[in-house]
Structure 1
Amino acid sequence: MSNKDINVDINGVIVSVRSCGIIYNDDKVLLHKKEYDDFYALVGGRVKANESTVIAVKREFYEELNINVDIINLLYCVENFFEYGGKKHHELMFVYLLKTDDIIPSGSFIKDENFFCWVDKNEFNSIKIKPDIFANWEELFSLKSKHIINIERVK
């Protein structure tokens, strides 16, 4: 397996593949954010060349949280178009529903440069999450596989 992320600049557009997961417990979902960002995201990261999205999401959860996860099913395949850090991005995102038998801290915590927190169902719609298509709890947990094309609106 290559150690290079699928993350290339093509004519000024960053094209990448991201694999992430939804893990929830007691009507709370685990999210994370970088200290300098004003939004949360699903836990995951870039897929490496010659790596499947399933292996990538398992690797990311192990690297970021030191836990092993199992795939329940693929929820979403998202073509995500957005701007970040002054650059245009075209991201292919695979979102899996996950489970684990390992212990994850119950409160908020920082690991490396990531701030992790459990967001309650009742507070979920009041936080900023990217992509914003995941900002609705009921939609997030529709549990029906979907192909989504998200074009972030620039304000």
Structure 2
Amino acid sequence: MQKLPNIRVIVLGLIRSADRIFVSECEDPVKQDTFYRALGGGIEFGEHSIDAVQREFQEEIQAELTNIKYLACLENFFIFNGQAGHELIQLYQCDFVDSKFYQLESLDFADGDGEHTAFWMPIDRFRSGELRLVPEQFIDYCEG
């Protein structure tokens, strides 16, 4: 019997500052496509999603979060690196505890997928279609 791919359950943290959001730059090597995504990651078995968002930011960029507010559950179907994917995303709006994160030009970090860079990007660059934000419905939550 063929094993079916799993649905991945993840958490993402939406952090805004004025007209900007904090996102990670990613690359699909097969499509040779650059896209952007909020920071976050997988929810571990037995872990509450609010705890997962805090853990992921701590692990990836050593940042503590505050003002954490649940926004929505998003469903995302996609193709990445030539493979079909399906994820359920628990989306949280949050802020950094340490104000130094709001002053960063960029921040390099490593996670299970490799090396990444996070930036503050103007929301208008995604809304105009100049840059691609994933999942697509994420943009609906970026208004202040």
Question: Does the TM-score normalized on the shorter chain lie above 0.5?
Answer: yes
* Matched position secondary structure for 2:64: coil
How far apart are 1:142 and its partner, in Å?
Answer: 5.3
Task: Tell me the matched-pair count.
Answer: 131
Q: In structure 2, which of residues 114, 117, 133 is the aligned counterpart of residue 115 of structure 1? A: 117
Q: In structure 1, which of residues 28, 40, 46 is the aligned counterpart of residue 20 of structure 2? A: 28
Looking at structure 2, the residues matched to 43 and 79 of structure 1 have their Cα atoms a distance apart, in angstroms, of 17
After the TM superposition, which residues 50-129 of structure 1 pair with which residues of structure 2 at under 5 Å, given as runs?
50-102=46-98, 103-104=100-101, 105-112=103-110, 113-125=115-127, 126-129=130-133
Q: CA, structure 1 residues 122+86, in 2 after alignment: closer, same or farther (shift >3 Å)?
A: closer
* Matched position secondary structure for 2:6: strand
- What is the TM-score when the length of structure 2 is the normalising length? 0.79
How far apart are 1:15 and its partner, in Å?
Answer: 1.5
Looking at structure 1, the residues matched to 97 and 105 of structure 2 have their Cα atoms a distance apart, in angstroms, of 17
- Identical counterparts, % of pairs: 28
**Which protein is richer in helix relative to its size?**
2
For structure 1, the 5+ residue unaligned runs are: 1-9, 144-155
- What is the TM-score when the length of structure 1 is the normalising length? 0.74
CA offsets, 1:71-108, max 9 Å, x none? 43211201222222222222110010001221215212
Q: In 1, are the aligned partners of 2:21 and 2:142 still within 8 Å (CA)? A: no
For structure 2, the 5+ residue unaligned runs are: none
